[in-house]
Amino acid sequence: MSWGSSQWRIQYSNSKLVLRLGSTSFSTQTRNSKLDTLNLKLSNSTYYVSEIFESIQGEGNYTGVYALFIRFHFCNLSCNWCDTKYTWLEKSGNFKLYEAVELKKIIAVAKPYHIIFTGGEPTLYRLDQLVVDDKKFHVETNGTFIPSEKLEIALKDETHIQRDAMDFEIIKKFNWVVSPKLGNSYQTFDQSKFSYWPNHNFSIFKFIIRSDIDLDEVDQFVVTHKIEKRNVYIGLEGISLHSQLQPKLVDEIIKRAYNYSPRLHVMLWGNEKGR
């Protein structure tokens, strides 16, 4: 069976899915299957993509720009308020396998100048291998992985992902939108990696809040990690127009000298997929 340019040899077993995105070939298995084993030969140029679409950037320092979005599948977190839960794990939603050459062709012929890698968590993949000329690249990440370091991780469903380090000389040209998760996401994780991001001028920080109590947590995070307030953008949690129109909360954002980032895609289309 073939899918894109990758050749698959499929058998099923009642085991786990292992996705290795390193420089060698690996075997992969699915969970709770009725047949007998799944073996995939994956390389460092393999990508699982949930969706590809054109829209406007709804948040952050490039709000409003016309862009091509490539939404990668799989995430190491499972935030309470996440609006793309269909990208989390193997069984969360549909996804398609691409090789780097296929995605580069899509990017090269795309009408938008801005290319936004989102997810899921895009730093699970070798994003540096997708660069083409005459495009501006952006990454929306939770910031828990350092892209220029090798990565190996087992997700909550035991999916195993491995990739090589990204080329720093390439990724330093990206616009990195780092979105640390607050207590309102009900996630616990090692925050030590976040010290990497403020030390590079390619990073801005986006926080999603529900109340001024969340802003207290933002204040603490900014001080702890020595982040300049001019690089901080605050968005409001919610998937309705009403959720984004909270003058008192925006007044508090202004009072604390942060940037307000209205979530334009939510205001225009709510939680519509592909927006």
Q: Which domain holds residue 142?
A: 46-88+104-151+166-269
Position 32 in a domain: no
What is the count of structural domains for the chain?
Answer: 1
Q: What is the pLDDT of residue 27?
A: 36
pLDDT tens digits, 243-275: 889 999 999 999 999 999 988 888 888 888 878
pLDDT tens digits, 118-152: 999 999 999 999 999 999 999 999 999 999 999 98
Position 254 in a domain: yes
Position 24 in a domain: no
pTM recorded for the entire structure: 0.83
In sequence order, what DSSP letters do the residues of the chain get, joined into one string?
-EETTEEEEE---SS--EEEESSS------SS-SSS-EEE---TTEEEEEEEEEEE--SGGGTT-EEEEEEE---S---TT-S-GGGSSTTTS--EEEEHHHHHHHHHH-S-SEEEEESS-GGGS-GGGG--TT-EEEEEE-S-S-TTS-EEEE-TT--EEEEPPP-HHHHTTSEEEE----GGGT-----GGGGGGGGSTTEEEEEEESSHHHHHHHHHHHHHTT--GGGEEEEE--SSHHHH--HHHHHHHHHTTPEE---HHHHHHTT-TT-
Domain with residue 256: its CATH number is 3.20.20.70
Provide the pLDDT confidence category of residue 43 given band limits of 50, 70 and 90.
low
Average pLDDT over residues 185-205: 87
Q: Does pLDDT of 39 surpass 60? A: no
Position 76 in a domain: yes
Position 7 in a domain: no
Position 75 in a domain: yes
Position 218 in a domain: yes
Using a pLDDT cut of 90, give the percent of the chain over it.
58
Question: Looking at per-residue confidence, does 183 or 203 come out higher?
Answer: 203
Position 157 in a domain: no
